[in-house]
Structure 1
Amino acid sequence: MSETAPMNVIAIVVTYGPDDRLDCQLDTLACQVSTIWIVDNGSDEETIDRLQSHERALGPRLNLILNEANQGLAAAQNQGIAAALGDGADWLLLLDQDSIPAKDMISQLLCAAENYDCPERIGFLSPIHGDDTGGTGSPVYAHGYGMGIKRYWLAEGEVDDGLAFAMASGCLVPADRLREIGNMAADFWIDYIDYDFSFRIRRAGYRILGVGSARLRHRLGETHSRKVLGLSVGYRTHPAFRRYTIYRNRVRVMRAHGIQFPGFLAFEALSITKDLARLLLVEDDKLEKLRAIIIGVWDGLNGRGGFRKI
């Protein structure tokens, strides 16, 4: 057990055709956790060879679960969670394959947990997500006035226990919380898994803590630019399949948790308005993506999950 991980912290990384960022991630992660479980979702032989090379280098501290086909992100996370709990984890760290933790990220998260007034109420802790530009990082979303959600940036050293939701990648979860709350929603496949988990955590009475001193570099997506009315508009986009899963699962989350968290409904209404405006104004393949959105909304209203080819 390393000096920066005084408790049994086990990391779970889901991979599918990872690039070289995974090598950097494992180098940074290995000195911060007791064990790493990589769950690969059907990558090619070259990727498997890379993963097995890392397994040989790290020995028993790195374990592989190799799925023959893509099981979806949530199902793969659940495989890793089961393995980590079986290994006696005290804390579980969830990571995407393109997320690189700072060298002190886990110690900062554990320190925040140790200094929190009510550690038994911790649902999970989240770092600040930044991209490779080294900017201020992504904002957090916390309880605002009334039932609203406020968007702001956590200061260095600040801890906010009122987050409304947080990304799964980089979150540090007490093992007992996963035993109580249950697994990730496997039939979501991808997208909105972390929203659903966040709201289940909060509905059980636990808190989501944002930790301003804990940092995670995360690939936030490729930015495109297009001229609209003479102005350059920057935007990130998703292909049709992702538009389908985003809208299907956001409808399912809104139906499952919207009454308990009405501020989220208002937040999503604004997000949907902005997304559709961006799609219609600047994105390519408009009809294909709109068709995927309509199918996604319909399937969400009917409770459909799993993989669907669009």
Structure 2
Amino acid sequence: MSHYKVAAYITAYQEIAALNKTIAAITKQSYPIEKILIIDNSQNQIITDNSYEKIIVDFHPENIGVAGGLKIAVDWAIQQGYDFLWLFDQDSEPNSDVLEKLLAYYQWLSKDKNIGIIAPAIFDINTKQEFPGCVFQDYKLVPFPGAATIQSFYQCDAVITSGSLININAAKCIELPRADLFLDAVDYAYCMNFRNHGYEIIVVKSAMMKHRIGNYSLVKDRFKKHINTFSTFICSPSRYYYACRNHTFLETRLVAKIKLYRSIAYRIKFLIMMMQRIIRYEADLVLLKLWACIVGTFDGFRGKLGKTW
């Protein structure tokens, strides 16, 4: 295999234990990482011991979000002359051979494919199930059909940030990540930048990574009190706001004008489904979470972005 100059990037926020697990998994890779850039968005800096020579910490107590950190990291990797930047959230645990497999597949596939991002298969720590890449169908992003049955690799339109290996030569040719998205769908929007410029997004099935997708908690259906508690994801009001806003913004901007009405109808339908779910399962701040979904959806329609919640 050719020698590549690879750096890693982690977005950190409050949870030092999760961050340390991710750092440990990165440093144990069979293919060596040269540097690890960490954007620490915590109110109080969580990394106080920076004795590990490969780690660079950039502290942002004002919280620039996933989007702001990702923009800094990609620009930094370009300026430093890296071949690849490996992206992570703080709650990811790649197997020790993941980077080696991603680079091997890149070297093989790049002979006849213009690869912008190559990513591992993601397995949700909470559900133990695979979380596939997405494709854009008509007016919405949907999970890649049949991803679980594929043995080697597949091409899609978007993958989550964590685990994604960015081809820096390709990144030089497209727009940097949008800092004004702040949180949620930042990865999907950045992937679509690559796709719009003719670059491929590849998922390698044999490269496997565990990742915590959302926070789960035991809940009860307030309308069916005879049913026992069960585990499902819960969100803060701010997360509901940015999720509704950014997915609405992204999908309604990707869709062809002739199908825009279908995209708008789908986002309103999704809003109603989310509100119903909050009413049934969320234990606290119900009204605020409902308001967050409503405001987020309509801010997405009108393109009001930034750190607005």
TM over 0.5: yes
- The CA deviation string for residues 232-267 of structure 1, in whole angstroms up to 9 with x for no partner, is 554212111111111111121022212289799498
Aligned 8 A contact 1:21 1:100 in 2: no
The question of 1:158 aligning with 2:152 is answered yes
Contact 1:5 1:107 in 2 (8 A): no
Task: Name structure 2 gaps, 5 residues minimum.
Answer: none
Aligned pairs for 1:35-54 within 5 A: 35-45=35-45, 47-49=46-48, 53=49
Change in Cα spacing, 1:306 to 1:216, as seen in structure 2 (3 Å) is: same
Distance 1:213 1:269 in 2: 38
Aligned amino acid, residue 214 of structure 1: A
SS at match of 1:11: strand
Distance in 2 (CA, whole Å) between partners of 1:308 and 1:294 is: 14
Please give the alpha-carbon distance, in whole angstroms, between the structure 2 residues aligned to 1:261 and 1:125.
Answer: 32
- Judged with a 3 Å threshold, the aligned counterparts in structure 2 of structure 1 residues 261 and 187 are, in CA distance, closer, same or farther, namely farther
| Whole-angstrom distance in 2 between the partners of 1:127 and 1:282 | 32
1:286 aligns with 2:286: yes
Which residue is 1:225 aligned to? 219
Kept in 2, the 8 Å contact 1:140–1:151? The answer is no
Paired residue for 1:182? Answer: 175
User: What is the CA-CA distance between 1:222 and the residue it aligns to?
Assistant: 1.6
What's the CA shift string for 1:197-226, capped at 9, x where partnerless?
122221211211111111121112224332
Q: Distance in 2 between matches of 1:132 and 1:307?
A: 29
Q: Deviations over 1:167-195 (max 9, x none)?
A: 01110010012111121110011011112
2:246 and 2:192 mapped to 1: Cα distance? Answer: 14
- 1:117-266 alignment, distance < 5 Å: 118=111, 120-132=113-125, 135-142=128-135, 149=142, 150-155=144-149, 157-161=151-155, 163-220=156-213, 221-227=215-221, 229=224, 230-232=226-228, 234-259=231-256, 265=263
Q: Contact between 1:140 and 1:210, CA under 8 Å: does it hold in 2?
A: yes
Secondary structure of the 2:173 match is helix
- 1:42 and 1:148, CA in 2 relative to 1: closer, same or farther beyond 3 A? closer
Matched position secondary structure for 1:56: coil
Letter in 2 for 1:236: F
In the TM superposition, what is the alpha-carbon distance from 1:276 to its structure 2 partner?
A: 3.2
Equivalent residues, number: 298
1:99 to 77, 85, 92: 92
How has the CA–CA distance of structure 1 residues 75 and 195 changed in structure 2, closer, same or farther, with 3 Å as cutoff?
same
How far residue 76 of structure 1 moved from its aligned partner, in angstroms, is: 1.2
C-alpha separation in 2, matches of 1:76 and 1:5: 29
| Deviation digits for residues 133-177 of structure 1 (CA, Å, limit 9, x no counterpart) | 6934323434779x984444445742002x132101110010012
Contact 1:5/1:34 (<8 A) preserved: no
Deviation at 1:93, TM superposition (A): 0.8
Q: Distance in 1 between matches of 2:16 and 2:172?
A: 32
What residue is the counterpart of 1:115 in the other structure?
A: 108
Q: Secondary structure at the match of 2:81?
A: coil
Q: Rate the CA distance shift 1:92–1:144 in 2: closer, same or farther, 3 A.
A: same
Q: Which runs of 5+ in 1 are unaligned?
A: none
Give the AA of the match of 2:15: P
8 Å CA contact 1:154, 1:211 repeated in 2:
no
Provide the TM-score with structure 2 as the length reference: 0.84
**What's 2:55 paired with?**
62
Q: Percent identity?
A: 22
Contact 1:140 1:154 in 2 (8 A): no
Contact 2:67 2:179 in 1 (8 A): yes
* Structure 1 residue matching 2:288: 3-state secondary structure: helix
SS class of match (2:121) = strand
Whether 2:24 is the aligned partner of 1:27: answer yes
The 3 A distance-change label for structure 1 pair 222 and 114 is same
TM-score by length of 1: 0.84
User: Alignment RMSD, CA only?
Assistant: 3.0
